[in-house]
Amino acid sequence: MAASFGDEPHLWDGWGDAATNGPAMTFLRLAHTNAMDKPEGYDQKAMAQIAQRYAHEADTVNATRSGNLTDSTVILILSESFSDPTRVPGVSFSEDPMPKIRAIKGATTSGYMLSTGYGGGTANMEYQALTGLAMANYNPSLTIAYQQLVPQERWVATFNQMWNAKHGDTASQATHTFMDNMYFRARNYKKFGFSQFWTLNGEHKITGCSPIDRAWYVSDQCTYQQVLSRLNHGSDPSQFQQVVTMQNHMPYNDWYDNNQFKQADTSQALTDAEHADVQTYAKGVQHTDDATAELLTQLDQVDHPVTVIFYGDHLPGIYPTAYANPDNVLGLHESDYFIWSNAASPSHTAKLPDDAARYTSSNYFMAQAAQHMNAKVSPYLAFLTAMHAQIPAMSIPAASGHSDGKPVYLNAAGEQVAPKDLTPEAQRMLRDYRLIQYDLSVGKHYLKDTSFLTAR
């Protein structure tokens, strides 16, 4: 109905939405979202029982682990639109656009991340990775948590706050090589506990970065140099860095010189527009491949432990031919990820087995990182570790061409499992998850006053 009056939502940009549709419409859109219905049985007693249950689970996990998450620097890199184009049906090249990251994935914890978006949805992947909460548990009316939920929250629990608690408020920093107003990041990051947010236009301004050739967005290579320049050294070096790149953001308009993928494109049954897009995109992927490998080489020279969580937030929306087949939709929501530790880390050679790593969603990243690092966990991370074992990946209904309007759940082989076919244990844990998520986001925050979020 609103569309009939000319309403054109710009949920990724609150200022742009207000300019286009008027501040009143933007206010109504963002302030009147029913994010989540109260789960049956939600009360203080139920949450105390959950806190106790997963405190015992954390004790069991921690009896076999020797490290501490906050003794390492963790760099969480959201690589804009990064994915392996050769996994898309009909797309192929005679030259691999990402040989270095492919080799990295083969040597460390890695796999595929089930996204909530195709061609968009960046902020939701960030939100899941930083909070451990899943968009699949929210009502469908909540489309972007950064815009519709976080601004209304009095308190938000994010994983970086563990570093702040141990090393001080300056232990968390964020870098985004674009504008600070997108998805209300500047405001939200302050609420999350990031002391500095480096952008092209904000209070902490990035300078000296430029795109590659004729591209519109800052290169990943320069983004990574920004990250390296802000690594802590000395007696208390551990920190948490949140990084959001922009290099491979749409559009893909023949940006790059010497693009060998024009000749290496052996894709079949694509339109001319698709060929042009995938050729430019593949060259961008190669630039990311080179820059990421160089970043890890430089991090190997750092004399304190550093762990990198690298992931593509979603595939670019440049595959209409493949997307037209419902059988392809799920795969078009699967991007690449890896978790890697530098030479100074005890987990430098760690690689989790396929059943614990091949498929995931970003809400599980910190639990997986703790497992990869052999690090002790909080009851919350113990819960997420157990939840990941039961349901390795989850997303919203749109992530599958065959979801019937229900959340998408994958097993360890990447196969979709209907909610009714989940094991009794998985269904029980999902009920716990919804109670936890409701309490941490829109409920009474009973868990805040327990040890649920504290590493044991």
- Would you say 199 and 177 are in contact if contact means Cβ atoms under 8 Å apart? yes
**pLDDT exceeds 80 at position 351:** yes
**10: pLDDT confidence band, cut at 50, 70 and 90?**
very low
Task: Classify residue 443: in a domain, yes or no.
Answer: no
Over residues 81-110, the pLDDT tens digits come to: 999 999 999 999 999 999 999 999 999 999
**11: pLDDT confidence band, cut at 50, 70 and 90?**
low
* 348 CB-near residues (< 8 Å, 6+ apart): 341, 342
Residues 13 and 108 in one domain: no
Quote the pTM value: 0.94
Number of domains in the chain: 2
Helices 14-21 and 23-31, axial angle in degrees (round to 10): 130
Residues 20 and 84 in one domain: no
Over residues 113-137, the pLDDT tens digits come to: 999 999 999 999 999 999 999 999 9
- Would you say 362 and 112 are in contact if contact means Cβ atoms under 8 Å apart? no
Structure tokens at 292: 């990421």
Residues 9 and 124 in one domain: no
* 98 CB-near residues (< 8 Å, 6+ apart): 84, 285, 286, 288, 289, 336
Residues 288 and 419 in one domain: yes
Residues 12 and 156 in one domain: no
- Would you say 282 and 344 are in contact if contact means Cβ atoms under 8 Å apart? no
Q: What is the mean pLDDT of residues 439-454?
A: 98
Residues 71 and 22 in one domain: no
89: left (phi over 0), alpha (psi -120 to 50) or beta: beta
- Would you say 198 and 176 are in contact if contact means Cβ atoms under 8 Å apart? yes
**Could you tell me which residues are beta bridge partners of residue 418?**
none
Cα 172 to Cα 14, 187, 190, 192, 372: the distances in Å are 25, 15, 10, 9, 21
Task: Classify residue 456: in a domain, yes or no.
Answer: no
**pLDDT exceeds 60 at position 215:** yes
* Radius of gyration of the chain measured on its C-alpha atoms: 21
Domain encompassing residue 21: 1-32
Q: Give the amino acid at 409.
A: Y
Task: Classify residue 43: in a domain, yes or no.
Answer: no
Task: Classify residue 79: in a domain, yes or no.
Answer: yes
Q: Give the amino acid at 275.
A: H
Residues 16 and 105 in one domain: no
Residues 102 and 28 in one domain: no
**pLDDT exceeds 50 at position 7:** no
Cα 197 to Cα 130, 132, 182: the distances in Å are 15, 21, 13
Distance between CA atoms of residues 77 and 308, nearest Å:
7
Over residues 359-410, the pLDDT tens digits come to: 999 999 999 999 999 999 999 999 999 999 999 999 999 999 987 899 999 9
Residue whose pair of structure tokens reads 């219905």 in the numeric block: 37
Over residues 292-304, the pLDDT tens digits come to: 999 999 999 999 9
b/e 351-369 (16+ beta carbons within 10 angstroms → b):
bbeeebbbbbbbbbbbbbb
Task: Classify residue 260: in a domain, yes or no.
Answer: yes
**pLDDT score recorded for residue 3:** 52
* 394 CB-near residues (< 8 Å, 6+ apart): 114, 134, 136, 361, 363, 407, 408, 409, 410
Residues 28 and 78 in one domain: no
Q: What is the mean pLDDT of residues 174-182?
A: 97
**pLDDT score recorded for residue 14:** 47
* 432 CB-near residues (< 8 Å, 6+ apart): 50, 53, 383
Assign residue 217 the CATH number of its domain.
3.40.720.10
Residues 12 and 116 in one domain: no
Question: What sign does the dihedral 100-106-109-113 (CA atoms) show?
Answer: positive
**Average pLDDT over the chain, rounded to an integer:** 94
**455: pLDDT confidence band, cut at 50, 70 and 90?**
confident
Sequence length of the chain is 456
Residues 304 and 178 in one domain: yes
Task: Classify residue 72: in a domain, yes or no.
Answer: yes
**Could you tell me which residues are beta bridge partners of residue 393?**
410
Over residues 224-277, the pLDDT tens digits come to: 999 999 998 888 899 999 999 999 999 999 999 999 999 999 999 999 999 999
Distance between CA atoms of residues 442 and 155, nearest Å:
10
Task: Classify residue 48: in a domain, yes or no.
Answer: no
**pLDDT exceeds 80 at position 55:** yes
Residues 15 and 157 in one domain: no
**pLDDT score recorded for residue 150:** 98
Task: Classify residue 400: in a domain, yes or no.
Answer: yes
- Would you say 97 and 283 are in contact if contact means Cβ atoms under 8 Å apart? yes
Distance between CA atoms of residues 442 and 38, nearest Å:
9
**pLDDT score recorded for residue 403:** 79
